[in-house]
Each structure stands twice: as C-alpha cells, then as structure tokens.
Amino acid sequence: MKGSGPRKPSSYDQALVSNDVAVLDELFWNSPHTIRYGTGENLYGYAEIQAFRNARSAKGLERQSQTWARTPDGWRVVSAHVSLMD
C-alpha cells in the first residue's frame, strides 16, 4: 500500500502466524537490501524473501525479531531473524 501509515504490530504478528502472504509482502521493504535469516536459510533481497514465503507451509510456529524502518511507502521490515520455538 503505497504511502500507507504504520500497521499495528498485532496485524504483523497475526499475518506471521497465519501465513498471510499479502500482508507480509506489504510489510517487508521491497529492496534488494532487505534480509531475512531463517532457521535453515539466509535470504537476501525482497524477491528471495517473497519466493520463500510463497513456498512455505503455514505449519510450525517460529520466533522472529524484526528491524523496522520508515520508508517513503510507510513503515517496513528491513531485517528479520527467525528461530524455532521449542
């Protein structure tokens, strides 16, 4: 959503656990500089993150931390780190 304001963190959290790909895609910075370090993969750039997200299963919760930055298109995730929850 170009120029959108910040979403509530709960919207992101809900999208994460329900694998709402459209919301997750919207909230990640569309840049080759965006990174996501996962439990078994390191993804560099929005396109790699988007492709991974579209192929993954929504099963299995993961713990994730994010770094957000305010861009001309609103607040976006620029870096994420994912780990498994025991």
According to the model, what pLDDT value does residue 29 have?
92
Question: What confidence tens digit (pLDDT) does each residue in 8-60 have?
Answer: 556 777 887 788 889 989 989 999 999 998 888 899 999 999 999 888 876 66
Among 68, 53, 62, 61, CA closest to 20: 53
User: How are strands ordered across the β-sheet holding 35-37?
Assistant: 42-44, 35-37, 74-84, 62-71
Provide the pLDDT for residue 5. 54
The pLDDT value recorded for residue 85 is 60
pTM, full prediction = 0.69
User: Do 25 and 53 contact (CB within 8 A), yes or no?
Assistant: yes
Pair of tokens at residue 14: 């809900």
Domains of the chain: 9-84 (3.10.450.50)
